Chain A
Amino acid sequence: MKRKKLNTYIRHSILHIVLIAGAIIMIFPFIWGISTSLKDMREVLSSPFNLIPKDLTFINYKNVVRSIPIIRFFLNSLIVSVTITVSQLFTCSLSAYAFSRLKFPFRDGLFYILLGTMMIPQHVIMIPVYIILNLFRLIDTYAAMILPFISGAFGTFLLRQFFLTIPKELEEAATLDGCGHFGFLFRIMIPLSRPILATLAIFTFMWSWNNYLWPLIVTNRIEIRTLQYGLAMFKEEGGLNWGQLMAGTTIATIPILAMFLAMQKQFIRGITLTGLREG
């Protein structure tokens, strides 16, 4: 009996050592980035070993704010990501409802085609979508960054899977009470689907906040660039000023990590609910 106890003790120790090593690898780049952003240039180049800066300085943040309109970029990112997230929640709820609750010809076939579009890489549709946006004189506007993403196959898929688990009896009861499709969706289905909607919201927000290639392609004016695009400007300009680059990187990363940490419980629960299963 004693030996068994010792065995579990050893097993737990090994487990913890492996997990702690992994955790350090996962978290170290962030800490190192923040640490570098708080050092002056001399310290970055001379003593690359200090985790805690000798002379703590905010000079890099000041320089970032002075040299590029980073607050503007921040607001642009926020406008684009929030608009895309809100509209995806709305449009995907509608189409997920159609694919899970309504009956119409070719319903499942259409759903599988929609699912198939998730396979299409952005690059294949980049050129035509660019030409269409150009036709409507939308290049270099917020609309160019937002419109292509106001609905999506992934969101529809995720919500449909969840809607399918909501009992059919609820709908029958609601119909008896004179509730139409819209009323049923907005008064019953959506309130019941909060965890999965939260998951979709985080996914969509994260994706559009982190998106770099599309804003790079459809915008030229500086005032309209997003944070990720703005961050890349450093590479061209003072590429070797690591402190400044890290200050910019920190500004671009902290909001999304903070949001993720604040909502991670919901996020994980939502993933567990649908389990990314087939069907």
Chain B
Amino acid sequence: MAGFTVGRRNIKFAFLLPALIYLMLMAILPLVWTLTLSLTKWHANIMPKPEWVGLDNFKYFLFEDPRFWRDLGFTSMYVGISVTGELVLGLIFATLLSQKFKGKNFFRVVYLLPMACPPIAVAFLWRMMLHPDIGIINTILTSIGLNGVKWTTSATVAPFTIIMVDIWEWTPFMFLALLAALQSLPTELYQAAAVDGASSWQMFTHITLPLIAPVIVTISLIRIIDAFKLFELVFGITGAGPGSATESLSFYVYVIGMKGFKLGRGSAISWLFLIILLIFALILISRFKKQRT
């Protein structure tokens, strides 16, 4: 009997093994390792070993490096506007397409396409369309008598260009998740509300929104985390320019760590990155909890 229990336990362990290995090698070990590295100076291409510097790297980014704050500013603005825009548009399209009418399935598929497209391909498609001279968008604008816009070459416009393309690419994700949520809502509530004479707007704000709020929080979190990693669009559309008006935090991490081989600094900035994300997430979750109670 004892042998049997041990056997059962071993089998359980076999099921759990992939998750444990993943957790160890892709999360805990790297996190601890990066934290230790962040306290060192290590230019991997010229120094054989890391050299202990304490909190210098963190001091550098927080107090001496304007580039870090500027990139953080741009990234936060981009995340805020894009995710809000995607959520609102996604909700509008999901509401429209959860009604019954002809051709619904065609629209549903079309509205998902951008999400499946490789981000680097998205960047190139839009770079061509937004080209100041030969791009189709400026061609259309000038042909109807408007001025062409310096989509990628003006430091004030370029950040919004990135935001616009991001909204195009990721509204489909919000749309998909919200459509699924809308379809799982119980129809009885709406029938009861209709009997009581509620308008469709009242039904939307009093029934639909509260019921899908958990989904909204979940998908917003997923998108915020993902949006913070903005890299391909910057790389492919503006190359972080003009100047460095569209340099995202994750682009900067890449430049320091993977191009400059400054592993100590790279680790420190990626930990700052993680902390900022955690703060964002906690604020969002606690706000949501407050609203519920």
Binding site for B on A (CB under 8 A): 12, 15-16, 18-19, 22-23, 25-27, 29-30, 32-33, 36, 44-45, 48-49, 91-92, 94-95, 97-99, 102, 104, 110, 113-114, 117-129, 131-132, 148, 150-153, 156, 180-182, 206, 209-210, 212-213, 217, 227-228, 231-232, 234-235, 242, 245-246, 249, 252-253, 256-257, 260-261, 264, 268, 271-272, 275-278
Contact = CB atoms under 8 A, between A and B. Distances in A.
Contacts of A92: 18
B125 A125 contact: no
A11 B78 CA distance: 34
A125 B225 CA distance: 15
Contact of A95 (B19, B31, B168, B257): B19
Contacts of B229: 121-123
Interface string B89-118: 000010011010100000111111110111
Given A121-B270, A124-B274, A125-B26, A27 B37 contact: no
Interface stretch (B60-68, B155-163, B214-222): B214-222
The 4 tightest CB contacts between A and B, nearest first, are: A95-B19, A125-B30, A91-B18, A128-B30
Contacts of A127: 30, 33-34, 37, 257, 263, 266-267, 270
B128 A33 contact: yes
Contact of B16 (A44, A49, A104, A118): A104
Contacts of B18: 91-92, 94-95, 150-151
Nearest to B35: A124
Given A125-B27, A153-B22, A249 B16 contact: no
B284 to A, nearest CB: 12
B129 interface: yes
A122 B183 CA distance: 33
25 contacts: A15-B99, A16-B101, A19-B93, A23-B107, A26-B110, A36-B128, A48-B134, A94-B19, A95-B16, A110-B23, A113-B23, A118-B222, A121-B225, A125-B26, A127-B266, A156-B19, A182-B11, A206-B116, A213-B231, A234-B124, A242-B128, A242-B134, A246-B124, A257-B117, A260-B113
Interface in B193-223: 214-215, 218-219, 222
Contacts of A181: 11-12, 15
Nearest to A129: B30
Contacts of A257: 113, 116-117
A245 B134 CA distance: 15
Candidate in B16, B111, B278 with the most chain A CB atoms within 10 angstroms: B16
Interface string B238-272: 00000000000010011001100001001100110
Contacts, number: 242
Nearest to A264: B109
Contacts of A242: 128, 131, 134
Contact of A22 (B29, B34, B111, B120): B111
A253 B124 CA distance: 11
Contact of A48 (B126, B135, B235): B135
Interface extent on B, as a size class?
35 or more
Contacts of A32: 125, 128-129, 136
Nearest to B32: A128
A252 B270 contact: no
A245 B113 contact: no
A91 B180 CA distance: 26
B184 A275 contact: yes
Given A32-B125, A114-B23, A119 B225 contact: yes
A120 B31 contact: yes
B139 interface: yes
B8 to A, nearest CB: 8
Given A29-B122, A95-B15, A249-B121, 10 more contacts: A16-B101, A98-B12, A123-B270, A125-B30, A125-B31, A128-B34, A228-B118, A264-B109, A271-B177, A278-B214
